[in-house]
Amino acid sequence: MAKKAEPTFEEDIEALDGIVAQLEGGELGLDESLKRFEEGVALARKLRARLDAAQGRIEELLETGEVRRLDLE
Amino acid sequence: MTRRRDAKLSSFGPAEEPESPSRGAEEPPALAVSTLVGLVDRAIKGDDRFADVWVRGEVSGFRPAASGHWYFDLKDEGALLHAAMFRADNGRLKWQPEDGAEVLARGRVAIYSSRSELQVVVKDLRPVGVGALALAFEQLRRRLEAEGLFAPERKRPIPQFPSRIGVVTSLSGAVLRDVARTAARRFPAARLLVADARVQGEGAAESVARGIERLNARGHVDAIIVARGGGSMEDLWAFNEERVVRAVAASAAPVVSAVGHETDFTLCDFAADLRASTPTAAAEALTPDAGELLAWVGESEARLVRALEDLVPDLQQGLDERVERAAAAMRRRVAREADLLAQRAGRLESLSPLAVLARGYAVAKREGRLVREVADAPPGSEVEVVLRDGALWGKVTKVRRHGEEG
């Protein structure tokens, strides 16, 4: 089986949203609830880290297909 | 001028023409048809006034040929003139004439000799009253719209959180700085991938189109911004060219177009999935506000904790209910057992000989054993008769079985 790609930002946000809704729905047992809670907290931490990331990168895609770093300042 | 031309014509006298040997002397000297036509053609060609002339008229019978050449007539109330515009020349025009259009045509006058038709070979053609660019814009817009390139159902949704944003613009312009600054401020996680493009002048349309194609083929971008700063209609023209419009429509990644100022509309805008009024607005449309998102993440965490806290009393209540149910079941079972016991006790009682005696029966015994049949107590034997409240003793004086004579 192919290795699963790293989830996108959008997918992480949707996953967190889903976990909150599931937990608030109160349909899960204690074990499952604790598991989902931990997943949710981990996702929130990951999202926060990505949002706090350093200055965005700018690169140029050359005609040859090569990518080089751009410094605009 | 006129005199010079007359002089020229007179130099080709009938005397120069070969005389037909079969004709009589009284027959006037004549020119061959092709000769005469050739003379007129040469006369026209030799006249500078016809070599490069502007003529104004209405287009009629416009017919583009498979070869790429255009044929049409130019007319006014008084006359009609054939016109031809060859592919090499009409290819430079951004617009295409239509019947009824008032035009200014520049070219040279010539005779199309096989039919002796006077015609103008057009090198340049301009619409009258409306600008050529405006007309070209409108014509291309109509054609591509009829093809469905601008249809609303073609528009793709703009991704909310693109991690890689392609930008097709000039590396040297202020546009790229605006886009980069806005993206970095709102959503630092986003990466920009720029395809440097000529945004005006010769080759600009090809350069922009190839930038879009390059980002799609090799950039792994989630969305593309096609942007250029403000300018005249001529400056922005590349973004009205079919090459660019088709590249935008064919782009796999959704395209946000931000060309010129808010009041400028280009065909690139029409084909794009979203039109932004400025490059900054395009960057804003493609980047979520990180501050808002952080607040949302914090809120989600708080909700997770709250949901878990709510879960504990829920579970407690569930447990209590289960204990209560078990206790009730146990109580019911005990009650049922008690019932059964009472029933059995009742039956036991009904079987007790004492109960039978209470109803008026008697039990006979001889020497402590029950007397069940007459043979158990022959005459003369002593029997004990047990009654409800005591016993009495007596001797058997007579015995008779059922059915025997007494």
Read off the pLDDT of residues B12-45 as tens digits, 9 standing for 90 and up: 544 445 555 555 567 888 888 888 888 888 888 8
Q: What whole-number distance in Å separates Cα of residue B33 and Cα of residue B17?
A: 12
Nearest-angstrom CA–CA distance, B206 and B208:
6
**Total structural domains in chain A?**
1
Contact B50, B109 (CB under 8 A): yes
Residue B37: per-residue pLDDT: 87
Largest CA distance in chain A: 56
Query: CB pairs below 8 Å between A and B: how many?
Result: 109
Residue B123: phi and psi, rounded to 5, are -105, -30
Q: For residue B274, which amino acid is it?
A: L
Q: Is A70 inside any structural domain?
A: no
Residue of A nearest to B160 (CA): A10
Query: B255-259 and B369-370 as β-strands: parallel, antiparallel, unpaired?
Result: unpaired
Domain extents for chain B? 33-129, 153-288, 290-351, 357-395
Whether this prediction's pTM lies above 0.80 is answered by: no
- Nearest Cα residue to B229 out of B180, B194, B278, B271: B278
Per DSSP bridges, beta strands B255-259 and B274-275 are parallel
Q: In sequence order, what are the residues at sequence separation of 6 or more whose Cβ sits closer than 8 angstroms to the Cβ of residue B350?
A: none
In a domain, A13, yes or no: no
Beta strand residue intervals within B276-368, DSSP E: 363-366
**Buried/exposed B232-245: b ≥16 CB within 10 Å, e otherwise:** eeebbbbbbbeebb
Could A44 and B307 be called an inter-chain contact, meaning their C-beta atoms sit closer than 8 Å? no
pLDDT score, position B180: 92
User: Using the beta-carbon criterion (under 8 Å), do B303 and A60 form an inter-chain contact?
Assistant: no
Whose structure tokens read 């209910």? Answer: B321
Please state, in angstroms and as integers, the Cα–Cα distance from residue B144 to each residue in B138, B141, B249, B311, following that order: 10, 5, 10, 60
Cβ atoms B245, B149 nearer than 8 A: yes
- Cβ of A51 within 8 Å of Cβ of B210? The answer is no
Residues of A in contact with B216 (CB under 8 A): none
Encoded tokens for A59: 């690169």
Strands laid side by side in the B382-386 sheet: B369-370, B363-366, B382-386, B391-395
3-state secondary structure of B194: strand
Q: Classify residue A57: in a domain, yes or no.
A: yes
Cα dihedral value B391, B396, B397, B402, nearest 10: 110
Q: Pairing state of beta strands B382-386 and B80-85?
A: unpaired
**3-state class (DSSP) for residue A71:** coil
> Side chain identity at B156, as an amino acid letter?
R
Does residue A53 form part of some domain? Answer: yes
CB-hemisphere CA count at 13 Å for B201? 3
pLDDT tens for each residue of chain A, 73 residues long: 444 577 877 888 899 999 999 888 878 877 888 888 889 989 998 888 888 776 668 899 998 988 998 887 6
Asked whether this chain's domains B33-129 and B153-288 adopt the same fold, the reply is: no
pLDDT of residue B4: 45
Residue with tokens 């019978």: B61
> Would you call B184 and A23 a contact, using CB atoms and an 8 Å cutoff?
no
What residues of chain B, 127 to 166, have a C-beta less than 8 Å from chain A? 159-161, 163, 166
Domain membership of residue A48 (yes or no) is yes
The CA–CA distances, whole Å, from B314 to A21, B310, B383 equal: 17, 7, 79
Q: Assign domain B33-129 to its CATH superfamily.
A: Nucleic acid-binding proteins (2.40.50.140)
The fold adopted by the segment(s) B153-288 is Rossmann fold (3.40.50)
Nearest residue in A to B181, CA atom: A56
Residues of chain B with pLDDT under 50: 1-11, 13-16
Measure Cα distances from B203 to B132, B209, B230, B344, B377 in Å.
Answer: 20, 10, 19, 110, 143
Q: Is B381 on the interface with A (CB under 8 A)?
A: no
- Residue A4 domain flag: no
Q: Given an 8 Å threshold on Cβ–Cβ distance, is B184 in contact with A55? A: yes
* Strand segments (E) across B170-222: 191-196
B220 interfaces chain A, CB cutoff of 8 Å: no
